[in-house]
Amino acid sequence: MNNISDLNQINTEKLFHAKMTYGQLFLFNIGNNTYVFRPLTVKELESVRSLVNVVNECFVEDWIVQQCYVYGTQNIEYLLNKEKCFITKTLSVKILERSNIPDENSLVQNFNKSRELANTIQETFESFISKAFPVISPSEVKDLTTIQQINLAAKAEVLLGTTLNIGKPNVREHLKKYRFREGAEVLGVDDIVSPEVADKFE
């Protein structure tokens, strides 16, 4: 992992903002220079695809680099005018490649990763709150603080009449190791006699 050593306050804020907005950033180390780019959005990608055969290749490359530039030890004007010409080309190609889902296998892989993420408590909160308050999109829920999310989730439970199912049901597996004598009466252990466990215990 490379450190970006000369980041000032403004660039740090830009970097954080871009990370929050686009989720993924690409850091290139080229010669003595470091550049950070964001991926193209789906809308931008579709525009590039539809215009790539009618617009001068050079302009498309410049456009991609200009759109996605987040930070650099050299500014965007340098990159578009003074940087070695094929570096800009390489950058645009790499940004394009990484903004795209190249084949079905990668798509399935990415989708499976998203499925795993969707099972986390955070993702459950986002979906649940969005379901109860349709004006808030899951990505907007991310803009809230954890406490705000918890409060909203509680309100969402009331609105939807559903209890949020967080974590695994408590089946208390450790109790299954116990061998009870036939006819034995267990007293004073709420944990064991709770309906949740009792009906599962033999």
Per CB under 8 A, residues contacting another protein are: 1-2, 19, 24-30, 36-37, 56-58, 62, 79-91, 94, 98
| Smallest separation (angstroms) from another protein to the CB of 44 | 17
Tell me the three state secondary structure of residue 30.
strand
Distance (Å) of CA 68 to CA 19, 61, 133: 12, 11, 33
Instruction: Please give the C-alpha separations between residue 139 and each of 8, 125, 144, in angstroms, as whole numbers.
Output: 28, 11, 10
- How many other β-carbons are positioned within 10 Å of the β-carbon of residue 25? 16
Look-up: residue for tokens 């954890």? 146
CB of 112 to another protein, least distance (A): 18
| Least spacing, CB of residue 135 vs another protein, in Å | 31
- Helix or strand run (H / E) with residue 29: strand 26-30
Whichever of 70 and 156 has its CB closer to another protein, that residue is 70
Nearer to another protein, 82 or 200 (CB): 82
Q: With respect to another protein, which residue has the nearer C-beta, 34 or 149?
A: 34
Residue placing its CB nearer to another protein in the complex, 29 or 106: 29
Please tell me the distance from the alpha carbon of residue 160 to that of residue 22, in angstroms, as a whole number.
Answer: 31
